[in-house]
Amino acid sequence: MNVSYEVTDHIAVISINRPEALNALNIDVLTELEQLLSKADNDNDVYVLIITGIGKAFVAGADIQQMQNLSPVEAKAFGEFGNLVFRKIETSAKPSIAAVNGYALGGGCELAMACDIRLAGTKAKFGQPEVGLGITPGFGGTQRMPRIVGLSKAKELIFTAETIGAEEALRIGLVSKVTADDELMNAAFELANKIAKNAQIAVRQSKAAINAGMQSDIVTGLAFEAQAFAACFSTEDQKDAMTAFVNKSKVSAFKNK
Ligand code: DAK
């Protein structure tokens, strides 16, 4: 197994576990990742996903050994499958956190960017080295990076193939927090727990509205938000939480119904 999976208290931790190759993404890793994402998506007990890497890398990119001899047709299939897997994370109803523990290069940086929120340990390193290998980023880097850090910085990082550290990633908004390396998973769990104790239908509707709005104009985006807001009024969670507020109390746990 190249990817491990563990669920604790509504939080699924997906760990890329191929440390001998710095967790490089080959077809086996991508296939297992895709299967585990489906498992998490289909498990009603899972509210939040954490994706991390075992060893000194988060993911050091797509597997260069495996890629080097691909024909254009195979490269297309590889790229399409990777895109499908990363899009599955992005479009999952459930929020995802990348806990970036080390190298997040090429496909690794792209994997982190497909997650909703990124946290980094101090040893994390980010970059898109592809143009130095004679290729373009192929798992969404050209599309997601400018949406996250803005055009100028994304173009600078992609055109120069330079690697940046955790503090610089924080400064440009590529990650939302930097922690001590041995605190990273605690920080990820703390964040996941904060999300998990809220009303999951509302969290999921919020994610869907944010993502839909980021691909459209403000008027269309606001229409998505209005729809998401309205959908919450058919839930028991909205009724329970607002009734509790009016009665000066709080719901102890949401039913997620
Ligand atoms: N692929 C395969 N093996 C890798 C690897 C990778 N990306 N990164 C590291 N490894 C392997 C090394 O070959 C080495 O294996 P052995 O020699 O021990 O057998 C082992 O992991 C340990 O690596 P190092 O000895 O190099 O470790 P260091 O600490 O010295 O250096 C490093 C760490 C991260 C600086 C270095 O390993 C490195 O530069 N790695 C490559 C990083 C990189 O360039 N990543 C981007 C890959 S390109 C597309 C689809 C996808 C993509 C593009 C297009 N389409 C189909 C359109 C994505 C492209 C990429 O991700």
83-130, pLDDT tens digit by residue?
A: 999 999 999 999 999 999 999 999 999 999 999 999 999 999 999 999
Looking at residue 156, its pLDDT comes to 98
**255 lies in some domain:** no
**Residue of 110, 168, 225, 236 with catalytic role:** 110
155-194, pLDDT tens digit by residue?
A: 999 999 999 999 999 999 999 999 999 999 999 999 999 9
Which residue range is the domain that position 182 belongs to? 3-196
**Residues 114, 139 share a domain:** yes
**Residues 181, 128 share a domain:** yes
Across the chain, the runs of DSSP E, i.e. the strands, are 3-8, 11-16, 48-53, 57-59, 96-100, 103-105, 117-121, 125-127, 163-165, 177-179
Residue 21 has pLDDT above 90, yes or no: yes
User: Please, what's the b/e burial string for 125-147 (b: 16 or more CB within 10 A of its CB; e: otherwise)?
Assistant: bbbbbbeeeeeebbbbbbebbbe
Residue 69 has pLDDT above 90, yes or no: no
Looking at residue 111, its pLDDT comes to 98
List all residues whose CB is within 6 A of at least one atom of ligand 1: 21-22, 24, 60-65, 75, 78-79, 82, 103, 105-107, 129-130, 133, 135, 137-139
Number of domains, the chain: 2
**Residues 192, 139 share a domain:** yes
**Residues 227, 166 share a domain:** no
**254 lies in some domain:** no
Instruction: For residue 132, give the ligand 1 atom closest to its CA.
Output: 44
Give the pLDDT band of residue 40 (cuts 50, 70, 90). Answer: very high
